[in-house]
Amino acid sequence: MVVAVGVTLYYFEIEAGSLKPVAHTTLPYEVSSVSVHPLGTDERAHATLCAVGLWTEMSVHLLRLPDLEVVGKENLGGDVISRSLLLVSFEGTDYLLCGMGDGHLLSFVLNTVRVPPAL
C-alpha cells in the first residue's frame, strides 16, 4: 500500500492484519495521483513499481518498490496535471496510462527490463 501526504510518500505492507511501514521518501512537489499495481499476467504477484504524478512540475515519476527509489521520470508538458494513473499489462506489454485533468489519456510503454531490482 502506498499513501501520499503532501510531498511525502509512504510504502506499507500488510502482514497478519497489521500495517508494517517499509519505506518513505520526500518528493519535490505534492502528489496528484498514484498507481501501484503488479505488472504481467499473475494478479497474485507483488507490485514492483509505483507511478506518482506530481503537481506544479507536471510530471510522472516511477519508483521502485520496496525502497521507493526513483527509476524513471516523464515530463508531461502543458498546464494540466495527471489526475489518475494506472500501471497495466496488455498482451505482454507493460504500460502506464495517465488520465489528465482535461480528459485526455496519455499512454507510455514501460521498459521494465531496464528497471534494476531492489537490493
Residue 24 and residue 6 in contact, taking contact as beta carbons nearer than 8 Å: no
DSSP state of 112: G
Domain extent at residue 90: 2-114
Question: What pLDDT band is residue 7 in, cutting at 50, 70 and 90?
Answer: very high
Residue 48 lies in a domain: yes
Which CATH number do you get for residue 105?
A: 2.130.10.10
Total domain count, the chain: 1
**All 3 cell numbers of residue 53?**
504524478
Q: What is the pLDDT of residue 15?
A: 87
The model's pLDDT over 12-37, given as tens digits with 9 standing for 90+, comes to 998 888 999 999 999 999 999 999 98
Residue 14 lies in a domain: yes
Task: Assess whether the previous peptide bond of 66 is cis (omega < 30° from 0).
Answer: yes
Could you tell me the end-to-end alpha-carbon distance of the chain, in angstroms, rounded to an integer? 20
Residue 119 lies in a domain: no
Q: What is the pLDDT of residue 117?
A: 62
> Rounded to two decimals, what is the model's pTM?
0.85
